[in-house]
Every structure is written in C-alpha cells, then in structure tokens.
Amino acid sequence: MNRIDQVFKEKNDILNVYFTAGFPQLDDTLRIARSLEDAGVNMLEIGMPFSDPVADGLTIQESSQVALKNGMTLETLFDQLANLRKEVTIPVLLMGYLNPVIQFGIERFCERCAEVGVDGVIIPDLPLHEYLNSYAAKFKSCGLHNIFLISPNTSDERIRMIDETSGGFIYVVSSSSITGAKPGIQDGQIEYYTRIQAMELNTPQLIGFGISDSETFRAACTYSQGAIIGSAFIKQLKEDAGERAIQEFIKKIKG
C-alpha cells in the first residue's frame, strides 16, 4: 500500500508540511525532512524550486530563488534523496511545476521518484486531461499518486472528475489566491469547506494555502482529514532552521 493511503487509513488531523528543497542551505533537505518526522509531522511535501512559481506567494518565491542560487536542481534533489528511506518513514511528496519536470523527462522523473521512495507528486499546472491521456499509466506503474488541486472556483463537475481519478488525497486550496500565511479563517471559507464536505467525496482531502498556526490548522481539520502548512514553516526556516526550532514550531501548530 502507498504510504499516503496508509496514513489516511490510520490517522486523523493529518499535518503535512511543505518546505523548499535546498533552502536555507543546499544540503538541508534530508536533515529538515528527518527533523519534521521526529517532531510528529505525518507527511512531507518537498518543493522543487522553480524560477517562475506562479501559484506561490512571496515567501515561497524567495525560498525558491535562494535554493536555485544555492545550486538546487532536480538531479541534485534526487541525489540528496538517495538515502531518504534510511532516514524517513512517513510519506513524502514532491511539489513543483511542469516545466522543470518536462525538461528532466517525465518518465525519468517518475522512475527516479520510485527509486528514492517518493509516494506522490503535486504539479499544479499539469492539466487533468493531459495527465490522464499521457502520463497516468507511468505514474501508476511507478506507484506514484498524482495530487490534484481544487479551489472555491472549481465546479462541482470538475471536483467529481478529480475525485474519480485521484489517488492519495485532494488538495483543497483554501481561497482563490496564491500561497501565504494568513491570520484566522477568511470570509467565505467555511461555506466552501461545508460545500466540499456535503459532496461526500471518496478521496480524502487536505486543506492548504493560508494555514499558519494552531487556530487555522484546527479549523481545517474540522472540515477535512488535515491540513498543509508551507509559507509559515518557510518563515521559520529563514529565522531558525535548527532541530529544536523545528520541534517548537510543530508543537505550537499541533497544540
């Protein structure tokens, strides 16, 4: 069984944490992953830095720029993850944009993910029809879940289609905006979350974008199986990327 499926089978209030590979230092990737698991995180989302991250806010954009200046590439990332499964047991996803993956070679990308023990991939700008027509078979053969995003503007018809074709979980984008930590629950979000709940989807959901503290994490868990924190953790890494600081950050989120 895919590790992502196993977590959803066994856990509630799942905490998935995003961080950018190669930030703040090039060789920090595996150390941060290990520290997050030790702190009690249930799932990891490792960002593949890209020069034009259109869905990301300033915090993650800046971390990508630093990582690229540090020398992070997909080839380097896979080299760093060669010993991933000797260090980390929880599910690991890679998140990034289609252009670098195409340049790397999608089939080769999937094969390298399988080799190092990556469980899933989030590529926000990969169209659903293109995935189904061209890549789904390869992802499946490599044991990879491809995670799709929905937002308040996504139609019920498309949500149903994503539910039918998804594995792992559906990424519920909390608002029609770019990533970034936001205080509290924003207007209209509860209505949106309730709408998704009422659809009784077969695929589990995690809520992301704007999850930044214990309050927003707990609110997200009320309406889904858990939440994803990104920008708030990147800010923590910028301030202090030490193991104790990571432990304290996660402790505050989980309450």
Q: Which residues are catalytic?
A: 45, 56
Sign of CA dihedral 8, 11, 14, 19: negative
* Sequence-distant (≥ 6) Cβ neighbours of residue 95 within 8 angstroms: 18, 45, 46, 47, 48, 121, 122, 123, 124
Q: Taking the CB of residue 18, how many other CB atoms lie within 10 A of it?
A: 25
Q: How far apart are alpha carbons 154 and 27 in whole angstroms?
A: 38
Of 29, 34, 35, which is closest to residue 47 (Cα–Cα)?
A: 29
Residue 92: strand pairing partners: 44
Q: Is residue 11 within 8 Å of 42, Cβ to Cβ?
A: yes
Q: How far apart are alpha carbons 130 and 142 in whole angstroms?
A: 18
Task: Tell me 134's DSSP state.
Answer: I
49-87: string of b/e by CB count within 10 Å (b at 16+)? bbeebeebbebbbbbbbbbbebebbbebbbebbeebeee
Helices 243-254 & 214-223 angle (0-180, nearest 10): 50
Of 39, 38, 18, which is closest to residue 29 (Cα–Cα)?
A: 18
